[in-house]
Amino acid sequence: MPDAGGRDANRIQEILAALIKQRLRVSLERVESALGRWRKGELGPFEAHAEVLAHVARADHLADVMSKCGRERTASLLRAALDARLVSRDEVERLTGEDPDTITAPEDLDTEPAAAGPRLPPKREVVSKLLGDGPILVHLDARRPGVAVPDSVATDPRLVLRFGHGLSPAITDLDIGDDALSGTLSFGGVFHHCVLPWSAVYAVVSEGDQRGMVWPDDVPPEAMTSSDDAAEAGDEPPAAAPPKRSGRATHLKLVE
């Protein structure tokens, strides 16, 4: 490869920066598409959120790929830029001193990484923070081991329970423990002490401003679909139902 100093080095950096921008743009377009489908009710919120997490993972992976140095690596990335039509064959040959046809683009550049689960904060931490601001809706798979809820909803993989301080009726024994979220809730006027192991919780949303978090690895397959016909559980309307959402399909049930 010719001397990488001076203008050639600057030009190589420009090409690689353009390659990064092109890959990030494509990834963001996937996010935009997923969010657009979610707004139309064609995609479930967890699927849309998973695409956002996938973008974060792709960006981290791209940075890792680009950080690997060396003559062969630079030539390989320039070949990828050529394939993306960001640079001409003649310039790649001039910058590398090689025939572009003999250079192979890096295989790991197109590897689709898994969404980075470790980036997500602990469920207990998220619940504590959101509860400090108001009531929350906790989405859980009631079939998971250790879950304690009324028998009528014990097989629901898309159960949503409302927790908060100062509710009516009050949850006097609300506890955000190391292993589970628990408290006595009212189901159609009948009280039941509920225990929600963190392993069963897959999403938490603030009732007021819809801030929240989804843990994709814990979302059951049944919750990954979108439908308009999910009925609210219980024979009586909740005493303090949250505001109705308009214009968006939901697959989630609300139990209070």
pLDDT in tens, 119-170: 578 999 999 999 999 999 999 999 999 999 999 999 999 999 999 998 999 9
Range 92-103 average pLDDT? 92
Range 49-56 average pLDDT? 82
Residue 5 pLDDT: 55
- How far apart (Å, rounded) are the C-alpha atoms in residues 17 and 66? 10
Q: Which helix (H) or strand (E) holds 159?
A: strand 159-163
End-to-end CA distance of the chain: 68
Range 47-75 average pLDDT? 83
CATH of domain 120-224: 2.30.30.220
When mean pLDDT is compared over 50-59, 105-114, 134-143, the highest value belongs to 134-143
The DSSP string of 112-147 is -PPP-GGGSPPHHHHHHHHHTTS-EEEEE-TTSTT-
> How high does pLDDT run on average in the chain?
82
Residue 179 pLDDT: 95
Residue 225 pLDDT: 59
Nearest of 110, 194, 115, 109 to residue 150 by alpha carbon = 194
- Beta-bridge mates of residue 208: none
Residue 114 pLDDT: 62
Residue 52 DSSP code: H
Where do the domains of the chain lie? 6-118, 120-224
CA torsion, ordered 231, 252, 134, 256, to nearest 10 deg: 40
Which of 39 and 184 is assigned the larger pLDDT? 184
User: Is residue 233's pLDDT more than 50?
Assistant: no
- How far apart (Å, rounded) are the C-alpha atoms in residues 223 and 45? 9
Range 219-247 average pLDDT? 46
CA torsion, ordered 226, 229, 235, 239, to nearest 10 deg: 60
User: Is residue 9's pLDDT more than 50?
Assistant: yes
Look at the pTM and tell me if it is higher than 0.75.
no
